[in-house]
Structure 1
Amino acid sequence: MLKIGLTGGIGSGKSLVAKVFEEFFDIPVFYADQIAKKLMSTDKNLQESIIQLLGNESYTASGALNKPFVAKKIFNNPELRTELNNQVHKKVRDTFNTWVSKQKTGYILHEAAILIESGFYKQMDQIINVVANENLRIERIRKRDNLSKEQILQRMEAQLGDEERNKYADFIIINDNKNSITLQVKKIHLKLLAHG
């Protein structure tokens, strides 16, 4: 079974692309970012590590992750961001390996925003990168997350750019509201089935 990494910058539409693989072609998708969020809210050991790293304010009184506090701490401190990512990714990696062992298809997708940055791309057989121009991405994120342009640019700067990410990619999907996502996915799907 091939392990295919699916990545793209914030607002590129990688989750949309993942849904096309899932819904049109029955390909199992591991949504690493969603799993990471879930683990940060449910895994007691991970929660304790996060509190040690970032402080008691990392979680609200009800036990929910204090996202604004965590974001503020890590986006201004690359060392803290790296350390937090390392702790979370170890747990995500273990969860992913267990999940993969239960799949029965020719290939699976591992969807993650910082697949390259985390080094996890090395565990993948091939990489798909979803690209979109910056203005389109800013508009999508603004609608989705209700963030200021400054906050959006800060998050974009914390990730690799498209050009850098493309160096790792075996396939590139252009999500510009002009090229058909479904047709691009279908071409890749057929190639992956032929390799698988």
Structure 2
Amino acid sequence: MVQRYARFTRSDVTSTEAVELGRVDVVAAQLSRHLESRTAAIDLVHIHGAGSSAVQTIVSELLFAELGFREEVVLTPEVGLVTRARPDFVYPLGQGRGIVAEVERGGTTTNNHDLKDFWKVHIAPDAHHLFLIVPMANWNAAGKARERPFARVARRIQAFFGDPRREVDVLSAHVFGYGGIGR
């Protein structure tokens, strides 16, 4: 079975954060099941030259329509930082707490969108969890896999967890893979 989900959490979690992580894990499981159930639809729109909006629409069926995530909301800027970060989806968990969900495609690793998304959560005072929804593979014009973002993103994001010296204030990051892995 191909791994399509990776979860990372800070090494030092308070009891309150552990409860919050439980809530986030429930949402992550729902998203994982949704992506699996919509594989055929995603494969139809995840083609060479397409934008991420087609996949984002399929993800929106669950996150926005069913779970109450808000779309394209400008995050509260951190004091002293000028930012107009506007993630694909935001879900409030409570006062000053939330999940940011981003759907990526072609620029996931080539333009470091995964790391930019991680940074958004790091600097946002009202978000502490990241859902990154990325392709298992991106295709060239000939229909061959030109890169495999899921595995690379999971390794890159994992580097920010597991050792208190490397950790930032992102409590958890969840990487979801969509689409086929080879044609």
TM-score range, shorter chain: 0.3 to 0.5
Higher RCO structure (Cα 8 Å, ≥6 apart): 1
Q: What is the TM-score when the length of structure 1 is the normalising length?
A: 0.33
Bigger fraction of residues in helix: 1
